[in-house]
A and B are shown apart, each in its own frame.
Chain A
């Protein structure tokens, strides 16, 4: 990452941290939601941008994390909040592992997309029928917990304290994901996306790597869901609907799948667009769809890719700026 991008990132982080000091509660809520779904999108891109697998059912794992948290808080375990986050994360990991174990050997591409879509929908319909989980109304009035960490008591129920907790937790998750993506494991995953057969002929057990990536991605998605439950203070079956599952896809594509930061950039851009067009019924979808189309047709590398190309052009190197590779024109 170049210096300019680093400064921008730091500036963005500072704005996010200081936001509650000047913004109204509506904007703070939207920002907090964006931070959580940005991490959710990051977990999805670990699968897509690194392992070359597209899940269209990641909303289901988000939902599992959110419901696990909501139920445990309702049962009165708020004192073990940090442990609950770990528990929800594990739940997502276990479910993702089970699905990946059965599905990945047989299907990739479109089939995996449809299969995961169907599984998430199955989960949503089932949740809507279980009375213990509030059926279609879900679980309302989720508390923002107060818990003790040995030497101090953390009270997340007051003011904006849960917002800052979300900021810190998400920063840690981003750090964790960055480490996974940039280490040896992430490098090997990238070879699998770029050419799965070639990777196998380097002696890489591609199936196993994909399964591990699927599991990690699911665990992080569930963790994001677990953070979201006390933030929204209500979970309903629709928390894992098709729109939720497509959120990370949109963010990632808009921001750029080949860049680690792409999903984050996409999430914030998307929220900004949504926020500024929130009063315009219908126009919102048209603008969102239009931007997405423009990105896919003209900048398949996303905003992050266009940015990098721009930086490359501005820097002192003699080579001309490389334009984003245009899509192949169709020969007819």
Chain B
């Protein structure tokens, strides 16, 4: 079943057109990667999907509903969870507080808030859920650390935790390993594989530069160049595609 469908999306910044009629269909449960050289329009496409920015033409469908005009918070409530290229966590709050607000936001949005209206402290069910997320991210030792003092990799983990606390149907990851050390990169790749593994039913959409990460995770790949989709398919198909080889993998292959 198609979970996200983009139909001929156009987007310009001023006079600069960055997306030219991009189509894409993402199926439920798959891990879908968007790749392309710098300036290809990956991040813009990503932002159009999540509702961070609008588009001039075309439409975005999520779970069979047209969400083109919906703001980000509505798409999030419908089940789209995202992370940012540079991890965005609430820096003045501790790791634990970061997750508390995320869990509470979800409970509030789904109308399942279990704390009485006069309560100041979060409910014990909320705290339990927060704790289990912390353990899963191996951040339980740093629960009381202000987020601003966490390492780069830990911030990325925490941000993933905030997103997971929303129990999304689709996980949108914008360069999940950008700027990471090789060991952190392996750790986060493992974590994503663990979260989105078969049986979880979780769909993952990601942009990424690191080919190792993509080949380790993606079921299907879409290649973009100069604001256009130039190819789409499985890893093998993309590897064999001559156009892709020419604009992108050809250069990358020398490094590999």
Contact = CB atoms under 8 A, between A and B. Distances in A.
In their complex, do chains A and B touch, with some C-beta pair under 8 Å? yes
Interface of A: 179, 182-184, 187-188, 190-191, 194-195, 197-206, 258
A190 B166 CA distance: 18
A248 B73 CA distance: 32
Interface in B59-113: 71-73, 76-77, 81-82, 84, 88-93, 97, 100-102, 104-106, 108-109, 113
**Those 9 A-B pairs whose CB atoms lie nearest each other, nearest first:** A203-B76, A202-B105, A203-B77, A194-B90, A198-B88, A203-B109, A200-B72, A200-B73, A183-B120
B209 to A, nearest CB: 22
B109 A183 contact: no
Given A195-B88, A200-B76, A183 B119 contact: yes
A182 B120 contact: yes
A203 B119 contact: no
Given A194-B92, A198-B88, A201-B50, A188 B104 contact: yes
A205 B76 CA distance: 10
Contact of B90 (A190, A206, A258): A190
A205 B77 CA distance: 10
A184 B166 CA distance: 16
9 contacts: A184-B113, A188-B104, A190-B90, A191-B101, A194-B92, A198-B90, A200-B76, A203-B77, A258-B92
A300 B192 CA distance: 39
Interface residues of B, number: 35
B100 A187 contact: yes
A188 B92 CA distance: 13
Contacts of B118: 179, 183
Where chain A touches its partner, the secondary structure class is: helix
Interface in B112-146: 113, 115, 118-120, 122
A96 B90 CA distance: 28
A200 B166 CA distance: 12
Contacts of B102: 202
A201 B80 CA distance: 9
B252 interface: no
Contacts of A184: 104, 108, 113, 115, 119, 122
Nearest to B98: A191
Nearest to B87: A198
Given A201-B76, A201-B81, 12 more contacts: A182-B120, A184-B104, A184-B113, A187-B97, A191-B90, A191-B105, A194-B92, A195-B88, A197-B52, A197-B72, A202-B76, A202-B102
Contact of A205 (B50, B73, B100, B166): B73
B105 A203 contact: yes
Interface in B30-72: 50, 52, 71-72
Nearest to B81: A201
Contacts of B84: 198
A189 to B, nearest CB: 10
Nearest to B107: A184
Contact of A197 (B88, B105, B109): B88
B162 interface: yes
B119 to A, nearest CB: 7
Contacts of A203: 73, 76-77, 105-106, 109, 166
Contact of A187 (B50, B104, B109): B104
A204 B162 CA distance: 13
Nearest to A183: B120
Nearest to B82: A201
A187 B93 CA distance: 10
Contacts of B166: 202-203
Nearest to B52: A197
A205 B75 CA distance: 11
A203 to B, nearest CB: 4
